[in-house]
Amino acid sequence: MQTSNPYLFNGDFVDRGSFSIETILLLFAYKCLYPEHFHLNRGNHESVNMNKMYGFEGEVTSKYSKEMMTLFTDIFQWLPLAHVVGGKVLVLHGGLFSKDETTVDDLRQISRHQEPPDEGPMTEMLWSDPGPAPGRHPSKRGVGVAFGQDVTERFLQANGLELLVRSHECKDEGYEVEHGGKAITVFSAPNYCDQMGNKGAFIRFEQDCKPQFTTFAHVPHPNVRPMQFAGFGGGFNFSQFL
């Protein structure tokens, strides 16, 4: 890693896979080594309820202890919720908001050392998704909103931005460009949960902040099944709550 090439990882570092401990400790180690050049956004899976349901709490208590899980919970609550890249690109995990009046300045005022509330901007930026229909609609997830291209364009224009980058949804090619090129989903876990068959991807931004995409396929991992530490069995729709 070079300090001239900073990194930003966009949430959901844990859960569903069975090597979440190894993943998150590696990310934290890089953050300690390069505190000004290695950045982490919080995702909806950096939360107590999701960790209980989708495996991370079980993995931590199995490999370490309940006290270690308490420490992770506290650290997750200090993670940033978004970054602005080059003054042009907003990067957050989920999506946009139920009210046009919400601004980037409002996001800076959020007291992030908490669990996501039932509603409001903090929860929406962790859970919302872009959709094909204009306006705002109830989310298929039951939390956050589905927002159209018109919502994206108004938000970007009002905040002097050019592009929204988010994650939160598995994509066949590892990324998808939507909303007239104004919203990009990037998903970096190939063959999600060992069954989706998707590619992973990452974005590189040069000085002009124009996105350049790299896709990659999965590689073998140790013979441990996904969801090894989750508290329920098979038959689950993995795409439901990404």
**Per-residue model confidence as pLDDT tens for the chain (242 residues):** 667 889 999 999 999 999 999 999 999 999 999 999 999 999 999 999 999 999 999 999 999 999 999 999 999 999 999 999 999 999 999 999 999 999 999 999 999 999 999 999 999 999 999 999 999 999 999 999 999 999 999 999 999 999 999 999 999 999 999 999 999 999 999 999 999 999 999 999 998 999 999 999 999 999 999 888 886 433 333 333 34
The neighbour count for residue 169, using CB atoms within 10 Å, is 15
Residues composing the chain: 242
Enter the pTM of the model: 0.93
Q: 81-219 has which CATH code? A: 3.60.21.10
Three-class SS state of 138 = strand
The pair of three-digit structure tokens given for residue 117, joined into one six-digit string: 């509330």
Q: What is the CA radius of gyration of the chain?
A: 17
Measured at the CA of 9, the angle between CA 101 and CA 150, to 5 degrees, comes to 30
Catalytically annotated residues? 45
CATH 3.60.21.10 in the chain: give the residue spans: 81-219
